Chain A
Amino acid sequence: SLPIALPSTAKNDEEVAEAYLKRFFNLTTPEGPIQRRRISPMTEKVREMQRFFGLKVTGTLDSDTMQMMNKPRCGVPDVAQ
């Protein structure tokens, strides 16, 4: 299906979240043909981040999750690289 045109804030949140999860939660961009997966790697990593910070585990970029991602923090990853 065509990617829906995300509103700018949602798109920006996606970009912020992707960069954050790559840096701190070892999100990797799958190489080669996109495998059809029940849950996207991004959603899995959002859940992992929410569990780490004791947030409600929704798998979505809700406001609490985005607020946590925008907080000043240490640059060391939260999961083993």
Chain B
Amino acid sequence: YSTFQGNIKWPKTSLTYRIENYTPDMAVQDVDRALERALQVWAKVTPLRFTRIYSGTADIMISFGAGVHGDYYPFDGPDGTLAHAFAPSEGIGGDAHFDEDETFTSGSMGYNLFLVAAHEFGHSLGLSHSTDPGALMFPVYSYVDPDTFSLPQDDIKGIQFLYGPNPDVDGGNPDPNPGPTTPNACDPRLSLDAATTLRGEKILFKGSFFWRSFSQSSQVEQHRIKYFWPELPDNIDAAYESLESDRVYLFKGNQVWALFGYDIVQGYPKSITTLGLPRSVTKIDAAVYDEQSRKALFFTGNQIYSYDEATRKVDQGFPKSIKDVFPGIGNKVDAALQDRGFTYLFNGQYMMEYSYTRRALRVLYTNYFLGC
């Protein structure tokens, strides 16, 4: 997180707000509710309390305007800049302006007013932008379900640095249930949901996020899954890159999605039964394309299936027990990928490296590819 220079904040905890005008995109009561809920996001974790007034000058004046709208920062039409707000101070300080050229909604279409407002009110209270891609104060908009929204831990730390915790919760002791945290690549206990290659990159999935590891550089990027692929679910089960079809397949539950490069392939998700897997397989834990055998390997429970993409059939003699095919990895596999002839299987915080003859070569940490 970051704060403004001098850690400027309000010298009081009771603040007023006034809604000066409305967007025609939403019903008045929906705007009222979205803005009230957005302020409560911050009240819940601090001593700050907000009172609405209907005339005169409030600490936080809220308005909708397009283009040049009365300050030195004109808006830019649809998309681009969605809104802005001013750091705490007298006058324009604390005020939040929303770009009327956007389409604001209560749902996932257009831009969700609650999410945009919760971010802007973070500025109104003294937070600047965060570099954490999972933080509310990250500058780029990404949709998350407002009904399940929970203020990320990065934002809680930032606002409590300025105002302290909510004295009405647990006597002001730090919340024992911290907000959601963005997976930390350098946590030695890191485990993965899924892993795949993608045209020379490695893509490692965890929760709502993924890392992009570039083979030719040690640098690793972390993004929200929905930043690139709004159609994909969080908490992916498995993923693999098919060298037959130049597709990446991603699995969750009994569904499969497909990517062509970084583009979602239309017509997905499909049921995994379309892959020809037995109906007894209701979920895939990990998947990898084996260049040696030119088969897709699916891991489910303590078993492994070898799958021929051309005939769309499971090979004779499968399933087999994982430990008979890849000795040493144990009875389950979280994620799998193949790179330069080596197969990497992930189980919890460890990753095992196998030669193309499937001989175990090394035991490494799961975050081996994440540049720590």
- A interface residues with partner B (beta carbon < 8 Å): 24, 52-57, 64, 68, 71-76, 78, 80
Q: List 29 A-B contacts (CB under 8 A).
A: A24-B139, A52-B129, A52-B131, A53-B140, A54-B221, A54-B222, A56-B214, A56-B219, A56-B221, A57-B219, A64-B221, A71-B140, A71-B227, A72-B81, A72-B82, A72-B102, A73-B80, A73-B81, A73-B82, A74-B82, A74-B119, A75-B75, A75-B82, A76-B84, A76-B139, A78-B129, A78-B139, A80-B5, A80-B128
Which B residues touch A53, using CB under 8 A? 131, 140
Is B80's CB under 8 angstroms from A72's CB?
yes
Is B222's CB under 8 angstroms from A73's CB?
no
B80-114 vs A, Cβ < 8 Å mask (1 yes, 0 no): 11111100000000000001001000000001000
B5-44 vs A, Cβ < 8 Å mask (1 yes, 0 no): 1000000000000000000000000000000000000000
Which B residues touch A57, using CB under 8 A? 219
Per a CB cutoff under 8 Å, which of A54, A64, A74, A80 touches B84?
Answer: A74
User: A65: shortest Cβ distance to chain B, in Å?
Assistant: 11
Per a CB cutoff under 8 Å, which of B79, B129, B223 touches A74?
Answer: B129
User: A70: shortest Cβ distance to chain B, in Å?
Assistant: 8
Which B residues touch A80, using CB under 8 A? 4-5, 128
Q: Contact residue range for chain B?
A: 20 to 34
Tell me the complex Cα distance, A76–B119, Å.
11
Per a CB cutoff under 8 Å, which of B75, B111, B131 touches A54?
Answer: B131
Tell me the complex Cα distance, A72–B97, Å.
15
Q: Which residue of A lies closest to B119 (CB)?
A: A74
- B interface residues with partner A (beta carbon < 8 Å): 4-5, 73, 75, 79-85, 99, 102, 111, 116, 119-120, 123, 128-129, 131, 133, 139-141, 214, 217, 219, 221-223, 227
Tell me the dominant secondary structure on chain A's binding face: loop
Is A75's CB under 8 angstroms from B4's CB?
no
Is A73's CB under 8 angstroms from B219's CB?
no
Which B residues touch A52, using CB under 8 A? 129, 131
Known: A71-B227, A72-B140. 17 other contacts (CB 8 A): A24-B139, A54-B133, A57-B219, A68-B140, A72-B80, A72-B141, A73-B141, A74-B83, A74-B116, A74-B120, A74-B139, A75-B81, A75-B99, A76-B123, A76-B129, A78-B128, A80-B4
